[in-house]
Amino acid sequence: MSTTDAPRYAPEWLELREGADAAARASGLLDPLHGYLRRGDAGLVIRDLGCGTGSMGRWLAPRLNGPQHWILHDHDPALLELAAVRMPRTAADGSRVTVAVERGDIGRLTAEDLAGTSLLTASALLDVLTRDEVDTLAKACAAAGCPALLALSVVGRVKLTPAEPLDAELAAAFNAHQRGAGMLGPDAVTVACEVFARRGMSVRAHPSPWRLGADESALTAQWLRGWVGAACEQRPALAQRAEAYLRRRLAACEAGELRAVVHHSDLLALPRPAGGTQ
């Protein structure tokens, strides 16, 4: 993914989703991760790809012990600045957390780039990468012996309550839109599991769904607008029916009557022990 072609996300949207992201993240993947975290002289070195406003760091840093040095990667300098300012400064045990930023192309990382890195993280990134970019990432992680925790990738399934007949058509059109320009979209987790395993890493995937109710109505409404809009961009013939659909859904959302489960998956890729299997 080049820095010019990468999608740009408004800080307002990233902040709106942060609570739902934090609730959804698969914390059960942290236990198997701990044994693979290599600590250098300065403690853990963690690279966060496509860091956005830094929500992954705010969630993960306070859940890990020991000194940590986070290197935040993003193509957007404004997001990098915001993320760096908002990073936690202490780990779970009170150890120091330091931060650096790197602006550049996150789709071409090499094993040399990851030298000395204890963990590679990313959130809501895999689905906007191509198969080749995921393979490049997997190759770099495998060669460097670096674990990867890749969170909150869409998997193409949405459940709205109450259901409507147009739900399935919109979901299919949205999924097709997400596969545009070679991006993996809802196929990202399946492809990434295959690619990381082929590169010799042990892979675990765990569901991380958003569960949105009345308390998350602002996020649900914003998500609905984007979901329907992308579906109609992919299939313009849906536009007339989708307009009325969106009005109904937003009214239900405002009234606290709409529930949504937006399915995602978290993926943990671990280096295999030298000379053995896991």
Q: Is the pLDDT of residue 161 over 60?
A: yes
Q: Which two tokens stand for residue 152?
A: 């909150």
Pick the closest to residue 123 from 48, 17, 71 (CA basis): 48
CB 152 within 8 A of CB 186: no
Using alpha carbons only, how large is the chain's radius of gyration in Å?
19
Q: Is the pLDDT of residue 4 over 70?
A: no
Pairing outcome for strands 259-271 and 148-161: antiparallel
CB 48 within 8 A of CB 71: yes
Q: Is the pLDDT of residue 5 over 50?
A: no
Pick the closest to residue 53 from 14, 94, 23, 97 (CA basis): 14
Provide the pLDDT confidence category of residue 38 given band limits of 50, 70 and 90: confident
Give residue 87's pLDDT: 97
Give residue 8's pLDDT: 53
- Give CA separation, 249 vs 45, 123, 260, in Å: 44, 28, 11
Query: 241-261, pLDDT tens digit by residue?
Result: 999 999 999 999 999 999 999
Provide the pLDDT confidence category of residue 219 given band limits of 50, 70 and 90: very high
Q: CA 233, CA 19: separation in Å to the nearest integer?
A: 28
Q: Is the pLDDT of residue 165 over 70?
A: yes
Q: Which whole number is the average pLDDT over 191-201?
A: 98
Q: Which whole number is the average pLDDT over 157-183?
A: 97
Query: 91-139, pLDDT tens digit by residue?
Result: 999 999 999 999 977 777 899 999 999 999 999 999 999 999 999 999 9
Give residue 276's pLDDT: 45
Please tell me the pTM assigned to this model.
0.93
Looking at 31-35, 39-43, 143-147, 267-271, which range is the least confident one? Answer: 39-43
Provide the pLDDT confidence category of residue 274 given band limits of 50, 70 and 90: low
Q: Is the pLDDT of residue 6 over 60?
A: no
232-235: long-range pairs with CB below 8 Å, 24+: 232/173, 233/177, 234/173, 234/174, 234/176, 234/177, 234/180, 235/169, 235/173, 235/176
Q: CA 178, CA 258: separation in Å to the nearest integer?
A: 24
Pick the closest to residue 98 from 116, 71, 117 (CA basis): 71
* Cα-based torsion angle of the residue sequence 92, 58, 192, 143 in order, rounded to the nearest 10 degrees: -60
Give residue 3's pLDDT: 35
Pairing outcome for strands 68-74 and 148-161: unpaired
Q: Please, what is the average pLDDT of the chain?
A: 93
Q: CA 47, CA 113: separation in Å to the nearest integer?
A: 10
Is the pLDDT higher at 176 or at 107?
176
Is the pLDDT higher at 149 or at 274?
149
Q: CA 161, CA 184: separation in Å to the nearest integer?
A: 27
Q: CA 51, CA 73: separation in Å to the nearest integer?
A: 6
